[in-house]
Structure 1
Amino acid sequence: MSAPEVDWEEFNRDQTSRQNLESMIARLDNLITRLTNAKTLHDYDNYQAALTDYAYTAYKAGTASPGFENKQNDLKQFFVKSVKTAETPPATSGKQ
């Protein structure tokens, strides 16, 4: 009951090829996810090390050790403390 105009052997080869490609894409997606996770871990480690170095620099600058005040001033731009502001609730018109 299949259409005689369709080359079913070619259809089956295309389907097999498609399934193989889908499997490879899934493996590549998995690899990308794993590489991204590893990169994120290294980013976190580097960030923690930078925080430690900045804290040490601030400590040494506070003791007037030579050069540390300049280093702290150079690094301040990267370690800006964000100020949390209270959100203002939306104004109500009194109508419900």
Structure 2
Amino acid sequence: MNDRMLRAFVTCARTGSLTRTARELGYSPASISEQIRQLERLTHKSLFHRSHEGMMLTAAGEDMVRVASEILRLIDELKHRGPLEELRRRPEPVRVA
């Protein structure tokens, strides 16, 4: 499981469309579909009802989108924070033995 897979899933849950998701993330619809299928295989759950009208979350998908959204929020926070920011906040000097 990786953040690309989770982004494809969360974005598709929001847009309800493989095509719109692909356009938004800069991938092909086939790539987005494969990312979602891999996630479904890993979780052993069907996350979407697929129809010609679009993609709608299953009950398992509804549960998963909340968790996946929080994971992505944390990943984004870590990416923006930078590796030294925590050290910069410390009032005491850092000692190396």
TM-score of the superposition, structure 1-length normalised? 0.31
Greater strand share, structure number? 2
Which structure's CA Rg is the greater one? 1
Normalising to structure 2: TM-score of the pair? 0.30
